[in-house]
């Protein structure tokens, strides 16, 4: 698979385009606009861009006030900073009144690399999912990240968009099919279903190819929307393939795997394996080395699927 842009870059470019379409869109950043790529919006619409400084709680508070006044604010910072530092403000000033604030967490997961655990957002999806009224989206590549921005712009209400630092393989050529709450079936299969989001989608596709050479037919679902979850696609996959592997660049507890497991338990219980970060923080290192060390590769997905089919 060829390498494309990072999802943070795709987000930043799409946000600037959104600014052209909607004059009510305003953007607030916590002094990392060159990293979150909100700099694209800032250069084109300086009068609608607010660099609040390293003060995530203030960023969210200001955004909620703007939303209550009729503006359509997008807030961006590193995933760990915006979700952890400003959680109380997100809870009381955005989720509780269900205001139309879009929150973007960049540099998510351990693939941020050398910056280390203090800046790795590994619990952000769990935190976002527990906020009532929030929609939570984790796109797989640049095309789906772009579509996610426009889909969330059409959606009225609070949302969290997770994007990453490294360039990622191209999953979707051209325009990505994207509907909030609707998974994309990227590959059909009969023996096991691999459900993934973010950069683990390309790993899931590679794993499916490797499994095919072993005589195992794997279905691949891009579950880009963690909340609301596509329960219909999950139930159908559970009935038809009878086994599941969930892969995500997030802590095992509270993320996509937890949501899928709950859905399966309620609808059609089947054996599941989870490829995710265990109960630990990662260390500093290259993205490739970290993903390999902490078990977030195509080979780890293959191993998990083989353990299920072997049963």
Mind telling me the catalytic residues? 56
DSSP state, 246?
E
> Of the candidates 155, 140, 146, 126, which has an alpha carbon nearest to the alpha carbon of residue 194?
140
CA angle 107, 149, 27 (to 5 degrees): 75
DSSP state, residue 228? S
Helices (H), 98-181: 124-129, 142-154
Asked if 224 and 276 count as a contact pair (C-beta separation under 8 A), the reply is no
Give Cα separations from 117 to 214, 257, 284, 287 (angstroms): 37, 22, 7, 12
Judge residue 88's burial from the number of C-beta atoms within 10 Å of its C-beta, 0-12 exposed, 13-18 middle, 19 or more buried.
exposed
H helix and E strand count, the chain: 13, 14
Judge contact between 78 and 121, C-beta under 8 A: yes
| Alpha-carbon gap, residue 224 to 136, rounded angstroms | 9
Cα 110 to Cα 12, 211, 249, 289, 296, distances in angstroms: 21, 26, 7, 10, 10
Helices 200-213 and 298-309: crossing angle in degrees, nearest 10, is: 50
Write the CA distances from 120 to 112, 165, 189, 249, 302, integer angstroms.
7, 11, 34, 11, 26
Lookup result for tokens 């004059």: 23
């Amino acid at each position: 698979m060829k390498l494309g842009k990072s999802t943070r870059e795709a987000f930043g470019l799409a946000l600037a385009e959104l600014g052209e379409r909607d004059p009510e869109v305003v953007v607030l950043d916590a002094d990392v606009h060159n990293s979150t790529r909100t700099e694209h919006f800032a250069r084109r619409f300086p009068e609608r861009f607010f660099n609040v400084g390293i003060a995530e709680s203030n960023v969210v508070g200001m955004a909620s006030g703007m939303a209550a006044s009729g503006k359509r604010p997008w807030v961006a910072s590193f995933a760990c900073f915006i979700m952890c530092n400003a959680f109380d403000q997100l809870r009381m000033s955005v989720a509780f009144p269900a205001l139309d604030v879009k929150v973007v967490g960049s540099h998510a997961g351990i693939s941020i690399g050398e910056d280390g655990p203090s800046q790795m957002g590994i619990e952000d999806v769990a935190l976002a999912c527990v906020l009532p009224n929030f929609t939570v989206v984790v796109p797989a590549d640049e095309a789906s990240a772009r579509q996610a921005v426009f889909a969330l712009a059409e959606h009225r209400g609070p949302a969290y968009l997770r994007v990453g630092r490294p360039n990622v393989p191209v999953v979707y050529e051209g325009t990505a099919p994207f509907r909030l709450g609707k998974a994309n079936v990227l590959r059909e299969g009969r023996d096991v279903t691999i459900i993934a989001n973010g950069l683990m989608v390309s790993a899931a596709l590679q794993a499916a190819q490797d499994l095919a050479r072993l005589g195992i037919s794997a279905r691949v679902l891009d579950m880009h929307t963690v909340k609301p979850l596509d329960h219909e696609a999950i139930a159908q996959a559970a009935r038809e393939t009878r086994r599941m592997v969930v892969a995500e660049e997030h802590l095992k507890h509270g993320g996509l795997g937890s949501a899928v497991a709950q859905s399966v338990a309620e609808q059609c219980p089947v054996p599941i394996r989870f490829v995710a970060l265990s109960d630990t923080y990662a260390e500093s290192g290259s993205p490739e080395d970290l993903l390999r060390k902490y078990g977030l590769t195509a080979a780890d997905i293959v191993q998990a699927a083989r353990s299920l089919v072997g049963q």
